[in-house]
Amino acid sequence: MELTLVRHGQSTANRDGILQGQYDAPLSDLGRRQANQVGAWFARLGLAWDAVYCSPLSRARDTALIISERLGRAAPLENADLAEIHAGSMQGKTGAVLRAEHPSFYERGIDGLGDYAEFGGESYEQVQARVQRLLAHLFERHRAAGDRVLLVSHGGLMFQLAKMLICQPVPRVLMIRFSNCSVTRLSLRERRGTFIGEIEWHAPLELIGGEPSGGAAALLY
């Protein structure tokens, strides 16, 4: 199976420095242009997929819809397991507010990132279970070597997905930066009895001729 991962275009919350999680901020004007740019790039290369899945959150769903329209294919299938990590009471707030209200989050070591149970969100273990459920769904339907699948999702979720696909055992921390509308290609195959992936390439939007977001850094991690 071949997987292509696309992070959504810039959202209004990305633009304004707000932590999203499952807070449903729409695409900004730049984000819509970014989705069109990556869709046009796919069309120029003649890329196509057997299936397209997206997060139900509007910033990812609309990115996937724009890409699908540029490629002249049917609307993507929503999958709730592609939604961003739920960050509980931290969602919808700026970095300055979060540092004042939740200082303990910023006092954690790097191995404590990605766990929001303390704030009423998802725990690290819950996210791992969700990613495993997503992969089981994909393997059941698209395990054949020639199957090609596009996933449009979020930086935090794709980070957990990618490290589960490429590492055995799965580490707590493995840093991969998924910028807005970055594109990541992975190939998955069975090796010595283990179905595992490898990253073939990882391209930020500016490398393929699009407009990078710049501005505030991601707050989820």
| pLDDT given for residue 221 in this prediction | 42
How many Å apart are CA 164 and CA 153, to the nearest integer?
16
pLDDT digits (tens, 9 = 90+) for 126-152: 999 999 999 999 999 998 878 999 999
Which one has a higher pLDDT value, 90 or 174? Answer: 90
Residue 137 annotated among the catalytic residues of the structure: no
Q: Is the pLDDT of residue 55 over 70?
A: yes
Pull the structure tokens for residue 76.
């993507």
Which one has a higher pLDDT value, 9 or 215? Answer: 9
Q: What percent of the chain has pLDDT over 70?
A: 97
The C-alpha angle 199, 177, 98, rounded to 5 degrees, equals 150
DSSP 204: -
Provide mean pLDDT across the span 14-32: 97
How many Å apart are CA 152 and CA 52, to the nearest integer?
8
Query: How far, rounded to the nearest angstrom, does the alpha carbon of residue 69 sit from its chain's CA centroid?
Result: 20
Q: Is the pLDDT of residue 20 over 50?
A: yes
| pLDDT given for residue 144 in this prediction | 81
Q: Is the pLDDT of residue 216 over 70?
A: no
CA distances from residue 78 to 110, 141, 181 in whole angstroms, order as listed = 32, 15, 18
Full set of structural domains in the chain with CATH? 2-208 (3.40.50.1240)
Q: What percent of the chain has pLDDT over 90?
A: 84
Q: Which of 2, 84, 122, 142 is catalytic?
A: 84
**Which residue, among 38, 47, 65, 60, has the nearest Cα to 211 in the 3D structure?**
38
Which one has a higher pLDDT value, 174 or 14? Answer: 14
| pLDDT given for residue 215 in this prediction | 57
Q: Which of 2, 8, 142, 154 is catalytic?
A: 8
CA distances from residue 116 to 23, 82, 119 in whole angstroms, order as listed = 14, 17, 5
102's CB contacts (< 8 A; 6+ apart) are 89, 90, 119
| pLDDT given for residue 116 in this prediction | 96
| Average pLDDT taken over every residue of the chain | 93
Residue 190 annotated among the catalytic residues of the structure: no
CB of 71 closer than 8 Å to CB of 50: no
Q: Is residue 171 classed as helix, strand or coil in its secondary structure? A: coil
pLDDT digits (tens, 9 = 90+) for 59-83: 999 999 999 999 998 899 999 999 9
Pull the structure tokens for residue 37.
């740019």
Q: Is 29 exposed, middle or buried (0-12, 13-18, 19+ CB in 10 A)?
A: exposed
pLDDT digits (tens, 9 = 90+) for 157-172: 999 999 999 998 999 9
| pLDDT given for residue 2 in this prediction | 95
How many Å apart are CA 72 and CA 89, to the nearest integer?
40
